[in-house]
Structure 1
Amino acid sequence: MSQQNGGILRQPVSVWATAFAAVVAFMGIGLVDPILPSIAQGLHATPSQVSLLFTSYFLVTAVAMLVTGWVSSRIGGKRTLLLGLALVIVFAALAGTSGTVGQLVGFRAGWGLGNALFVATALAVIVGAASGGAEKAIILYEAALGLGISLGPLVGALLGDWNWRAPFFGTATLMAVGFVLIVTMLAATPKPAARTRLGDPIRALAHGGLSTTAFTALFYNFAFFTVLAFTPFILGMSAYGIGAVFFGWGVCVALASVFGAPWLQRRLGSVRVLFLSLGLLAVLQVGIALSGQAGTVVFVILCGIPIGFNNTIFTEAAMEVSDAPRPVASAGYNFVRWMGGALAPYIVTKLGEEFGDAVPYYVGAACCLVGIAILYARRHHLATLDHVDVDHTFQDASPAQA
C-alpha cells in the first residue's frame, strides 16, 4: 500500500529515463509547426504539400501501432524502445538533409515508424515500472506528452530561425541522448508470457468500450490536428512568434493533462468530462474561425485546455475499459485515433487553400460534434469508467491497476 500511496514524482530512475525520451519523442509532433512556412518557402512547396509532413508521419505511426505489440512481445520492451529510438535518430537526421518536399515527407514516414515503436512501448514500460499505480503512471506519461508538445515549437523556433534543417538535426541529437539513458538506466524488461499476434489489436476493437473510445478519439484527433497543422499558415508570424503561440498552447495541454483532468474526473466522471472538453474544443475552433490574428492567438492557446483533458482521459479509457491486455488495447486504440492525425493536416490545409482560412476550423468543430454524437449513442459501453472514477475518489488505485 505504501507504494500505491507514493507521490507521482517519487519514481525509479528508469521511469525518468523513459519519460525524458518520451518528452523528446513528443517534441517531434510540434517541432515542425513554427518552421512550416519556412519549409514551404525553402523547398518551393505549397502549404498542403508541406502538411504531408504530418500525414506521412501519423499514417505510418497509426499502421505501425498494429505491430508494436507483436515486436515487443518477441524482443522485449527495452529492445523495442531502443529500436524505435534508433529509427527516429536516423530518419530525423536524414530529414535535415532533404532536398525536396517529397524526400522530407518520406523521411518523416520513417520517423513515424520509430515513433510508434517507442511511444506505444514507453507507455507500457512506464506503467509497469512506475510507483503509485496505473493512474499516476498514465498522468506521468501524459505530462511527458504535454511537456514534449510544448517544448517542440520552442525548439523548432529557436533552431529553425537559424535554418529550417536545424530542428531535425537537433531532434536526432536529443534522441541519441535518450538512447544512451535507456541503455544505461533501464533494466532489461521481461518478455510477456504470451506473444501478441498481429491481429490482436484489431480483434480488441470488437470490444464496445474500446471501439467507442477509439472512434470518438479519431474525430477528436482530426480537430486537434486542424489546430496544430493549419494554424501556422494563417498566423502571419515569424518562427519565434509561431513557436511562442504553440508553447503557450502546449503549456495549457500539460497543465490540463496533469492537474485539470484528474480533478474533473473525480467530480464529474470520465464520460461527462469528455462531453465537456469536446464541446469546449468545438466552441474554441469556431472562435478561431471568426477571429482576427489576436483572437486566433488567444483561442489557439486556450485550445490546449480541452486537448489536455482529452489526452489524459482518452488514454486512461483505452487502458481501463477493455478486457484485452493493456499493450494490445493501446495498439488498437492508437491505430484508429492516429488516423485522425494522418487525415486532418492535408484535408484541412487543402480546404483552407480552396475555400478560405475559416473553413478548416468549422470542419474541426463539426468533428468534435460527431465525436460527441458517437459518445452519446454508445455511452453505455463506457459505464464502467465512471465506476472506476468513483473508487478513485475514495481510495487510491488498487493493486490490480498497477
Structure 2
Amino acid sequence: MQPTATSKANTASHPQQNTQKVSMFSQPKAVWAVVFASIIAFMGLGLVDPILPAIAKKLHASHSDVTLLFTSYNAVMAVAMLITGVVSSRLGIKKTLLAGIIIIALFSALGGMSNSIWSLVWLRGGWGLGNALFVATALSAIVSLSKTGVARSIILFEVAVGLGISVGPLLGGELGAISWRGPFFGVAGLMVIAFFMILFIMPKPQTQIRPQKASLADPFRALKFKALRTFGIAAFLYNFGFFTLLVYAALVLGKLGLDEHQLGYVFLGWGLMLAFTSVFTAPKLQKRFGTVPSMCVQLLLFAVTLFVMANWTTDKTVIIIAVIVAGAFLGNNNTLITTAVMNAAPVERPTASAAYSFLRFIGGAIAPFLAGKLAEWFNPHMPFIVGGACVVVAVIYLWLNRQHLKHVDEVESAH
C-alpha cells in the first residue's frame, strides 16, 4: 500500500527519533487539558451503571426501560459521529471541543432535574450528541498537539478513556448513594471546570492548522476501504458483549444485593484493569504478536468470560470477578483496535475515527436494550450467551479478513 500525502505529513510531523526519546507523559499543557476533559467525558459512559437499579426503583421503570439510557446515548453518538468532521473542520478543534463540553454539561444538569424515565432517556441522547462532538475531536486534538507520535498519543487517549470509565462508576456510586440525581449534577460541575481549562490552556485557533473542510459523505467514503470497514463491523459485534457486561451485569448485581457503593467499586476495578492493560500490555502484545492475532485472542478470552457469566448468573462472586477480569481483555482490545483504525485507510484520522465510531456505537445502541429484552423474553442467562456469541462472530470475521489488515502493523512499525 503506497503512503498518501496525508500519511507522509503525519509521519513527518512526528519524527521517529522523537517517539523513541520522549516519554509518553512529556506533553504540553494543552494535551493534559484535553486528557482531563476526556476523563470527565468518559465518566458519562459508566456513571449511570451503579444507579441503574436505583433509577428503576425511583422512577418506576423496568430493567429494559433503564437500559434505554445507554441506547439513546449511543444511538445519538453513532449518528452524530457522521457530522463531527463537518463541524470540526469549520469551527476548528478548540471550538468544537468547547461546544461538546457545553452540550454535555447542559444535558447532564437537565438529567439531574428529570422526573420520568422517558425524559431522562431523551436527555441522555442530548448528552450523547455532546460526547460525540467532544470525543471524536479530542482524539484528533491529542494526536495533533502531542510530542510523542501517533501510537503513544492514542495510548494516552486510552488512558483517559480507562480512567473516565473507572472513575465514572465510583463517582456514580458515591453520589448516587446520596441521590440518583447526584451523579448528573456532578458531571455537569466537572464539565464546567473542563470548559475553562480548554478555553485558557489550548492554543488560540489561529495557531492551529485547520484541516480541509470535510463533507457529510466523507465517513461513508472512508468505509469503502476494506480494512476500516472490517474493524468497524468487528467493533459493532464485540460491542454487544461490551455493553452487555457494562449495563446488564450491573442490573444482575443489583438483583443479587449490591448497593450503589458496591456497584461503584466493582466497576472501578473493571475500569482500572481496562486502563492498566490499555497502557502497559496492549503495545507489547501488538509488537510481539501483531494487531489482528492479539485482538482475536483478547476477544476470545472476553467471550469465554461472558459464557462463564451466563453459566453462573446467580453467583454474585463469579459475576464480580468476571466483570473485573473482563476489563483486562477489553483494555487490550480497545488500544489495539483504536491504533489500527488510525492506520487502516489513507484518509484523515478524524474521518477514519468518525466512520469507525459510527459502526461501533450502533452496536452499543442496540446491545443494552436487547440484553434487557432477552432477559425478559427468555431467562437471565440469555443476554450473556448472546453477547458472548456476538464476540465470537467478531473474531471469526476479523480472522477471515486478516489479509486486508496486514498493512496496519507495517504502518505502525514505520512510525
Q: Name the TM tier (shorter chain).
A: over 0.9
Cα distance in 2 for residues equivalent to 1:205 and 1:29: 26
Cα distance in 2 for residues equivalent to 1:73 and 1:146: 28
Does residue 1:3 correspond to 2:18, yes or no? yes
The answer to whether the 8 Å contact 2:78/2:362 transfers is yes
The answer to whether the 8 Å contact 1:77/1:121 transfers is yes
Aligned to 2:80: 64
Superposition deviation, residue 193 in structure 1: 4.6
Cα distance in 1 for residues equivalent to 2:210 and 2:402: 33
Gaps of 5+ in 1: 392-396
Which one-letter code corresponds to 1:12 in the other structure?
P
RMSD value, Cα = 1.0
Aligned to 1:297: 320
Cα distance in 2 for residues equivalent to 1:162 and 1:46: 22
Cα distance in 2 for residues equivalent to 1:321 and 1:192: 22
Q: Which deviations, in whole Å up to 9, do the C-alpha atoms of 1:146-193 show, x marking residues without a partner?
A: 000000000000000000000000000001100010001001343535
Cα distance in 2 for residues equivalent to 1:6 and 1:300: 35
Aligned to 1:336: 359
Aligned to 2:369: 346
Q: Which deviates further from its counterpart, 235-244 or 43-52?
A: 235-244
Q: Which deviates further from its counterpart, 192-201 or 20-29?
A: 192-201
Aligned to 1:31: 47
Aligned to 2:155: 139
Cα distance in 2 for residues equivalent to 1:339 and 1:250: 22
Does residue 1:49 correspond to 2:71, yes or no? no
Does residue 1:158 correspond to 2:158, yes or no? no
Aligned to 2:245: 227
Cα distance in 2 for residues equivalent to 1:162 and 1:58: 27
The answer to whether the 8 Å contact 1:74/1:191 transfers is no
Cα distance in 2 for residues equivalent to 1:289 and 1:364: 10
Aligned to 1:217: 235
Does residue 1:173 correspond to 2:173, yes or no? no
Cα distance in 1 for residues equivalent to 2:251 and 2:84: 34
Aligned to 1:394: none
Which among 118, 129, 134 is matched to residue 102 of structure 1?
A: 118
Cα distance in 2 for residues equivalent to 1:177 and 1:234: 35
Name the SS for the 2:172 alignment partner. helix
Which among 274, 290, 307 is matched to residue 269 of structure 1?
A: 290
The answer to whether the 8 Å contact 1:58/1:112 transfers is yes
Aligned to 2:104: 88
Superposition deviation, residue 354 in structure 1: 2.3
Name the SS for the 1:349 alignment partner. helix
Superposition deviation, residue 317 in structure 1: 1.1
Cα distance in 2 for residues equivalent to 1:18 and 1:131: 14
Which among 174, 179, 197 is matched to residue 215 of structure 2?
A: 197
Superposition deviation, residue 33 in structure 1: 0.2
Cα distance in 2 for residues equivalent to 1:59 and 1:109: 7
Aligned to 2:405: 382
Superposition deviation, residue 3 in structure 1: 3.2
Q: Which deviations, in whole Å up to 9, do the C-alpha atoms of 1:331-367 show, x marking residues without a partner?
A: 0000001111101000011111221211111001100
Name the SS for the 2:380 alignment partner. coil
Does residue 1:245 correspond to 2:245, yes or no? no
Cα distance in 1 for residues equivalent to 2:407 and 2:221: 20
What TM-score do you get using the length of structure 1 for normalisation? 0.96
Superposition deviation, residue 387 in structure 1: 2.2
Identity of aligned residues (%): 46
Provide the aligned length of Structure 1 versus Structure 2. 392
Cα distance in 1 for residues equivalent to 2:229 and 2:411: 19
Aligned to 2:38: 22
What TM-score do you get using the length of structure 2 for normalisation? 0.93
Cα distance change, pair 10–193 in 1 and its aligned pair in 2 (3 A):
closer
Does residue 1:79 correspond to 2:95, yes or no? yes
Which among 281, 285, 292 is matched to residue 260 of structure 1?
A: 281
The answer to whether the 8 Å contact 2:292/2:399 transfers is no
Which one-letter code corresponds to 1:196 in the other structure?
A
Superposition deviation, residue 376 in structure 1: 1.5
Name the SS for the 1:313 alignment partner. helix
Name the SS for the 1:3 alignment partner. helix
